[in-house]
Copies of this chain bind each other. A is one copy, B any other.
Amino acid sequence: MNHKGTSASIIKAAEILFAEQGFAETTVRQITSKADVNLAAINYHFGSKKGLIQAVAEKFLTPLCTELTSMLEQRQSSTDAGQVTLDELLEILMRTLLVVNRDNVNALAVFMRLLELSYMQNQEELREFLVARYQDTLQPFILLLREDAAPMEDDEFFWRLHFLLGSITFTLSNFQTLHTIEKREYQRGAEVEKILHRMIPVLSAGLQARADKTYFCRV
């Protein structure tokens, strides 16, 4: 097996296991065993387990950023003067995520786990890394979301964005589990594409909902 083969099969195995179990719960033994490579191969190719996680992350961070930016520019130039609607913005987001998913069905789940992980209190380093990586790409997108959302304070919008983020990360991190449950309960299992599409009107409505000024006083 040549270099690319070993390196690639490690990443492939890691994506599956990271998606299934999370990062900390997955051991390098499990990964090398599943990839059928030597135990030391991860350290040889990626320096450390952390290096492997970064390599897995890089694999979709780059195309994702590129894709989101290009899609956004394309849409803005094609729309004559008028504003891009909220549904269109969310569709762009979902299409971007599908690009990540195109090559590997687990990559998207790993990416979402990485996002979740970054919100843990002791993961400031990862958080800052992702912010530094995404800031420029996401900021314009978020501003457009804000324009189309219901009028609200900055902090209100901050929380709504994270309600939305929670829906996306939870659904996609645990897609396999949810897919399995759906098949068992309803004898049908939707593809990721469908689920992403289904999210659009829900998230759109959530962002456009009028903020309630009252504060637990009706009951």
Mark A residues whose CB is within 8 Å of B.
Answer: 20-22, 24-25, 87, 91, 95, 116, 119-122, 127, 154-156, 158-160, 162-171, 173-174, 176-178, 181-182, 185-186, 188, 190, 193-195, 197-212, 215-216, 218-219
Task: Please give, as numbers and ranges, the residues of chain B lying within 8 Å of A91 by CB-CB distance.
Answer: 216, 218-219
One of B159, B167, B185 near A190 (C-beta < 8 A): B159
Max chain B C-beta neighbours (<10 A), residue from A170, A171, A200, A210: A170
Instruction: Establish whether residues A120 and B177, one from each chain, have CB atoms under 8 Å apart when the complex forms.
Output: yes
- How far, in whole Å, are A163 and B167 apart by their CA atoms in the complex? 4
Instruction: Establish whether residues A170 and B170, one from each chain, have CB atoms under 8 Å apart when the complex forms.
Output: yes
Main SS class of interface, A? helix
- Closest CB-CB distance, A148 to chain B, in whole Å? 14
- How far, in whole Å, are A210 and B198 apart by their CA atoms in the complex? 10
Q: Do A202 and B209 contact each other (CB < 8 Å), given the known contacts A169-B170, A190-B155?
A: yes
Task: Please give, as numbers and ranges, the residues of chain B lying within 8 Å of A201 by CB-CB distance.
Answer: 209-212
Q: Do A121 and B216 contact each other (CB < 8 Å), given the known contacts A156-B198, A162-B170?
A: no
Q: Do A170 and B20 contact each other (CB < 8 Å), given the known contacts A186-B158, A219-B91?
A: no
Q: What are 7 residue pairs bridging A and B, where the CB atoms are less than 8 Å apart in the complex? A: A116-B116, A120-B177, A159-B178, A163-B167, A166-B169, A197-B212, A201-B209
- Closest CB-CB distance, A92 to chain B, in whole Å? 8
Instruction: Establish whether residues A163 and B199, one from each chain, have CB atoms under 8 Å apart when the complex forms.
Output: yes
Instruction: Establish whether residues A197 and B216, one from each chain, have CB atoms under 8 Å apart when the complex forms.
Output: yes
One of B182, B186, B200, B208 near A205 (C-beta < 8 A): B208
- How far, in whole Å, are A193 and B157 apart by their CA atoms in the complex? 17
- How far, in whole Å, are A160 and B202 apart by their CA atoms in the complex? 8
- Closest CB-CB distance, A211 to chain B, in whole Å? 7
